Amino acid sequence: MANKKVLIIDDSEIDRSILKNILDEDYDIIEAENGFKGIETLLSRRRVIDGVLLDLHMPILDGFHVLELMKENGLSDIPVIIITSESTEQNLIKTVSYNIRDFICKPFDRDMVKSRLEMFFKYGVVMNMNYYLK
């Protein structure tokens, strides 16, 4: 069976590299260095991307705008996991209307990132908002 294809949209080359190193054994990784490139990639490769890891705070086009453009362009069926250093209640509430499956906080913990993606892709587990809103 082919690996799932995961698009990482993050302006930090270091964070993309860390995630790629964590996930490249189990997933085919596609990278976009900003939200604009991420939307371009999603529009051109929508049928092959199984999930997105999306940073919220980026220049050019931030994660919230990416989510809005995904919605406007019929890409809401592609599952999104937010990667952020700011998992605030405000950010969580703001993303509720989108197809957000989970939040992964920076800095990344290898085992946690791997287990969260595995739980999602193998079992379809989605986030429990109450866990994040403590």
**Residue 5 is assigned to a structural domain of this protein:** no
The stretches of the chain forming alpha helices (DSSP H) are 13-23, 35-45, 63-72, 89-95, 110-123, 129-132
pTM, entire model: 0.89
pLDDT at 17 over 80: yes
Rg (CA), the chain: 13
**Residue 16 is assigned to a structural domain of this protein:** no
Number of domains in the chain: 1
What CATH number did the domain enclosing 47 receive? 3.40.50.2300
pLDDT tens-digit profile of 76-105?
Answer: 889 999 998 876 777 777 777 776 888 888
**Residue 49 is assigned to a structural domain of this protein:** yes
| pLDDT at residue 130 in the model | 46
pLDDT tens-digit profile of 40-68?
Answer: 999 999 999 999 999 999 988 999 999 99
